[in-house]
Amino acid sequence: MSTTSRVRHYWVFVTLLGIAPAAWAEVACPDSIQVDQRVEAPDGWSASYSEANPRLAGITLFDGPPANRVKLKHDQARQGKRELVLRWNLRDTPRTHYLQCSYDRTSAVLTTALPPGVRQCELVFERGNAIPGGSMPVKRMFCR
C-alpha cells in the first residue's frame, strides 16, 4: 500500500470514529528554562548564582484556571526499580484543563491551557538518582 493510500485510509478511519485531529495534540513541559533571578543580599553577605538552568521537577494539572486551585490528583501510580510513573486520565468537563510545569532551583512555573481532545498526561521520574533538594529527576512527560 502506498503512503498516499495509507494516509487516505487513516483519515477515513479518523472520520468514521468521529475523532478530531486535535485529539492527538501532544503537549510537554520544556525540559529546562532560563530564569533571570535577582537577590538582595543582607549586610555582611554576598550572593552568587548557579550557571545551571532550572530543570523540570514536576507538573500540576488543573480543572479550570490554576487561580481556581482545583488540582487534579493522578489516577495511577506505577513504581518500578528505575521509574515512578504517574498518570492522569482527563475527563470531559465544561472547563479547560491546564498544565503547570515546575522547575528545580526556582519559584518560576510555566502554565498552559491544554488543547481540546487531550485525555491523558503522564509524568515519569527516574528513581535512584536524586537531584539537589532530594527529589527524583523527571525522565519524560507528555499530555496527549
Report yes or no on 80 lying in a domain.
yes
* Residue 57, in any domain of the structure: yes
Q: To 10 degrees, the CA torsion angle through 7, 19, 120, 110?
A: 80
Which candidate, 77, 84, 78, places its Cα nearest to that of 130?
84
> Coil, strand or helix: which one is 36?
coil
In a domain, 14, yes or no: no
Please name the amino acid found at residue 15: T
Inside any domain, residue 15? no
What are the tens digits of pLDDT across the range 86-119?
999 999 989 999 999 999 889 999 999 999 999 9
Give the tens place of pLDDT for each residue, 59-82: 999 999 999 999 999 999 999 999
**Model confidence over 21-63: pLDDT tens digits?**
444 579 999 999 999 888 899 999 999 888 888 999 999 999 9
User: Whole-angstrom Cα distance, residue 119 to residue 131?
Assistant: 30
Domain extent at residue 119? 24-143
* Distance separating alpha carbons of residues 28 and 52, to the nearest angstrom: 21
Q: What is the pLDDT of residue 134?
A: 66
Cell digits of residue 97: 484543563
Residue 68 lies in a domain: yes
Question: Total domain count for the chain?
Answer: 1
pLDDT at 131: 67
Residue-averaged pLDDT of the chain: 84
Q: Nearest to residue 52, comparing CAs of 41, 37, 73, 69?
A: 37
